[in-house]
Every structure is written in C-alpha cells, then in structure tokens.
Chain A
Amino acid sequence: MKLAIDYFNEIQSEQNFGFSISDGAQTIQKEELNKLIDQYVSIIHSKRQNDQVQCGVAICLRRSIYYIAAMIASWKAGAYFIPLNIRWPEEKINDVLASCKPDVIFIEDDFEYDLENSVSISDVLNKQSTDVFYLDNKPSDLAYIIYTSGSTGKPKGVMINHLAYASYIDWTKRYFSRYANNKKLVISAELTFDITMGDLAFALAFGTEVHVAPDPRNIVSLYKMIKERNIDTFYSVPTTINAIYRFAERKKGADLSTIKLVLSGGDVFSIDLVKTIKNVTPDVHFYNVYGPTEMTINCFAARLDNQIENISNKGRIPIGNNFDIIDYAIINEEGVDVARRGDKGKLCVLGPQTMLGYLNDLETTRKSFVPDIRYPEFNRYMYNTNDIAMLDDDGQVYLFGRADHLVKIKGYRIHPDEVTRVVREIKNVYEATTIAVDIDKQLELYLFVQGKTGSIDIENIQEQMKTRLPDYMIPSKIINVQKMPYNDAGKIDKIKLREYLDE
C-alpha cells in the first residue's frame, strides 16, 4: 500500500523535479530538502526513548519551511507528529505536551518557555547527518495526532494512522484529478488544523509546490503571496476566503486571477460567498468539503460554482456526496437509517479514514462511535458526527445543525442553528448565532446578531424572520452585538456569549 512517505519519495525521485516548500522568506526543494529531513531524522533517532515503538515528535515552530519539513521528517524516522501553535498560551502547550508526551519537541531558538526534550531549530541545522537510516511506516502506524477542543474544554488528541491519511491522499488523487496540473498551493490555515493536512495531501498527490502564508489573519500578506507566486490552489476556512475576496473586490487593481481552485472547509457559510467567488473569479472551481478531524480531514465534497441556481433554490449549501471510500447512514431518533427516505437524522460515517480514537481517552472514544444498526449481526461501529443531515432529492447531502444543540421549546423540537441559518441570509446581517437559554426552567431562544456596518435594525430582522420561520422558532430576544466572539478554532464562541448573558 502506498503511504504518505511513498508519495513523497516518488516525487523526490523524479528527474528534474522534486518536492518544493516555500515560505515568505525562502524556498527549499529536492536535495536541500532531503538534507534538512536527514538532520531532523538523526535528531529524532537520537532522542527516541524506546527503539521498539513509534516515537512522537511535537512541532512548535513558526510558520515556515522548517515546520512542513519536520512533518515529513517524522514519517521518514518512522515517527508520528503532533502540530503545535507557537502562539498558543503556555498553559495550552503544556496541556497538550502532558497529554501526548512526545520524545522530542522542535522549537525556535528564541522560544520563551522551557520544555523538556526540546531541540532548537539551529541545533537541527548544525546536526551532522551521515549514515542516516529511515524506518518503515506501516498502515496501522500513527501518522499524526491533531488536538481539537472538546466540549469540556479539555483538548482531545485525534489519532490518525497512515492507512487513514493515505486513503485521503488517494481520494484527493482521484477526485481532483482534473487539477493534477495545478502548480502551486498556499497553506493559509493554522498549521494545527487538519486543513493543512489536506493541503499536504494535495501536494503529495500531485507534486504541487507548497507555499506557507506568513499569518492566517494577515489577509494582505496572503493576497500578496497568491499574487506574486501565481498560486492556483487555495483551501481555507470560509472567514479567510471571505476576507480575501472582499479585499480583491475593494482594493483598487486587486484581482485573484491566478486562482483556479478554491476549497472551503471547517465551517458553514452563506450563499453570498458562493456568489462573490463567482463574480470576482468567474472561472474558479469552488468546492465545499466537509468532515470532522476524526474522519481524516474530509469525507464529503460538493462542487458549488456549477450549481448556484440549485443552491439559491434550496436556500442552503450542500456538503454533497460521500467520498467513494466512505459509507454513511442517517440515523433518526428511532435508530433507523432514513437516508434513502430523505428524512433528517444524525450523520454517521465509516471507512478507512476513521480515526484510531482519542489519545488516552477510551471513554470519549467509545461515546463517539455508534453501532451500525443496518447490520446488527456485524457488531460494526460508525463514527457519529453529531451533525443533523438529510439526503435531498438532488442526490446531495445537506446539514441542519448539530444534534447536540437540539432543544425542545413549547413542545417543539427546534434547531437553534436553523434560526441562525435563516438570519444569516437577511440583508445587512454579517454574522448571527442562536442559543437556547434556560429562563426559570423554560428554554427560550436568544439570537445574537452582528450587522455588516455598525448597529442593525432589530425590527427589520424580526419582520424578516416572521416571513421565513414558524412562530415557535422566533427567538424571544434579539441582541445586537458589535463583534461576535470567536474561539481558537475560529468558530463562534457560545460559551462567551452565555457568560455575557450571565452578566
């Protein structure tokens, strides 16, 4: 079976070609990259605490060629890696390190905290790397551990093995085959998000050059990189895509003409964004990709630019179709698979991309899987995404909010996210979210809304909602916020909003 490192070695062995990584300052490729990887590998071997098992490599570096090279080097050394963000507070870094206990941590020379087993980047670059040996990867070996924030606030380490990651690369190679000649992609998301693993998969599948943007929030530097480097492939979260397209629209002389392929993942977005992309870059192919980190980056995909009319009619964005290697079921409250019936239920998925589990947390791992009720005699399990989904008559799957947010108000089962979706489409609304609040043992819906400019006409929102939602779904309170709070993952921070209500 061809694993990630085999794809890499194959690209490196091609004549007059090789794997290429760039950041804002430098480019590294082919032999030079191999040399750097060998230096990393030598250090990993010298630090491993046990020769018999896979070792863990934590990467706590700036966004640079060295970060990406350390990922590949980990695999060459037969190790798995844990991506950290140098900007995380010390406490979070310590929490993650205490959980994954890596054999080695690669850090910047000027890193401010004192960490056990750390090796600075200049020590890597000074390492003599003769007689380097590589260790094989097995499909069952871990490829990486990505930490996601759990609902309890305790970070969960999602373990992804080489079988899962190779399956994703393989799918990329099949699904995006028409973009095989794309030359350059930009890594624009946080390196701790699995979007980066999706970018790397694309590069491994097609030999695409990897360009690491300096700062996910600095839209101008990202735009500049796209423009100056002729970037053609761009995968990011909707907020970043939205910001860069707004910049291209509003800045004199700006355009995104080099872009051929845009992928959006990690969050929902409004139809406006699809239309903006079509207006600014009419020839761009735009995909919505969906999946939890637990299913290795993505497991559903939909091309959107060629179905704008359908999206407008439906009033929502599809996640499209399951990958050819992913099976799914939509389980309703009675525990029946209602996918083919076109009913709503919890989206449950299975396939080779399924995570191994959460590191050292069997209980949470068990809870996240449910029996595959279609085949009770198999005793097989599916990963429960907790997203409410429906297979529509257009053959595509659509999402309807989180199952764990479902509430019962005045006897009606309500999805706060459904209210949010409707409000998001109202003119002048920039962002919105709805939460159920317990008022004297009775749940009520509170809507938080942020206008595109300054304050917003609450009465107008109310009027608009009345035309689009049944009475029982109209929030009892609408709160105009100046700025929606976001958490580390870039999603609306509902915990903060509740704290605000308590005050």
Chain B
Amino acid sequence: MNIIGRISSGDDRAFDELYCTYRKGFLALFRKCFDVGEEDALDLYQEACAALYNNIRSKKVTEDNLPAAKVHPYLISTGKWILYNKRRKRQVPLVFETDLVMRFHGTEEEMGRSPIENLAALDKVEDESYDKEYDDKLFVIRSSVRDIPEPCSRLLDLVVFQGKSHKEVAEIMHYANTDTVSSQRWRCMQKLRELVLSRFKLLGYER
C-alpha cells in the first residue's frame, strides 16, 4: 500500500509523512523557478497538500491512479495551479479532476528559465472553466466554514477531518451518548448550510 492508499485507509501518520517527504523539494522549486518567498511557498505547499488530501478522501485520487512516483509531480502541478489562480485572484476548487492540474505539469526547461519567464508561461495557460458565480460561491463556502462558531467548529473537525467515531467524539466533547453526537452534527451542518445559503442570497445568487 503506497502513501495514498494509507491516507485513504485512515492512517493518521501517513499524511504527516507525505507532508514532510515532499516539503523541501516543493519549496526549493517554487523559490527558484517562480521567485516565491519562503512563507508564500509554504502556504502554497500546505494548500497543495490539503487539496491532495481532499481529493484522496473524495476518491478522485486513489493508489491506482496516483502511484508513489507521481505524487511529487502532482503536488508541484497543484502548487502551480494554485499560484495561477492566486495571480488571478480566483478560488481553487475544493475537489477536482487530476487532468485539470496536470495541464500545469512542468518540464525541465523550467529549471533553466528565469522566474519571470516561468511566471509568463504560467499566465499563458488558458482556463476556460472559470465561472464567476462558482468562484464567489466557493469563497462563501470557505469563509462560512471559517466563521462557524464553537462547538460546531470543533465537532465538525473531529468528525469530518479527523474521522473520529461518534463514541470518541462523545468522550472528547463530554456528550451524554452517541445519539447526542449525531443530532449535534446534523444541527451544525444545518447551521452551516443556512449560513452559506443566506450569504449566496446576499450576493444575489438565489439558487
């Protein structure tokens, strides 16, 4: 089972291993080829890893369609795609197909070119998928998840991100039983949905 398979099966340490394994190479490439500052390069890397993680959990990326040798190029391409979207002040989709990022797959020429040339080449990539309404709605979804208050923020993190069982969540959050966890989870998701839809409405997107 490669690292993708291990993350998919819920191995807690696998994601940390992935993060530490590819960190140095990713930061070095973006600093050299795109003249990205250290902190910005780290932000890009963390967003690329988060995107990969989401795609693994959504089954868009599996052990079969992303062998171990392709993980590094995938992260680099994702990083470039994120950089491309940031330069256009656009949102990066939360879940996406692999071929979308592989348009940004680099070549060895990049290493020999200046950062200005590399950025110019990046900007030339055409993206006909851009949709302003989709972009705005993604922004609303992300900001609403950030803004949801406690205890919903913690509960949803435990259940959705950390994958804790309802029994574990009940112990951590001192709920009476697992039924309480289920009903609280439903209520929190409902709150989040209502927040998002009300913000869609404010932006003029009724449905």
On whether the two chains bind one another, the answer is no
Using a CB–CB cutoff of 8 Å, the interface residues on chain B facing chain A are none
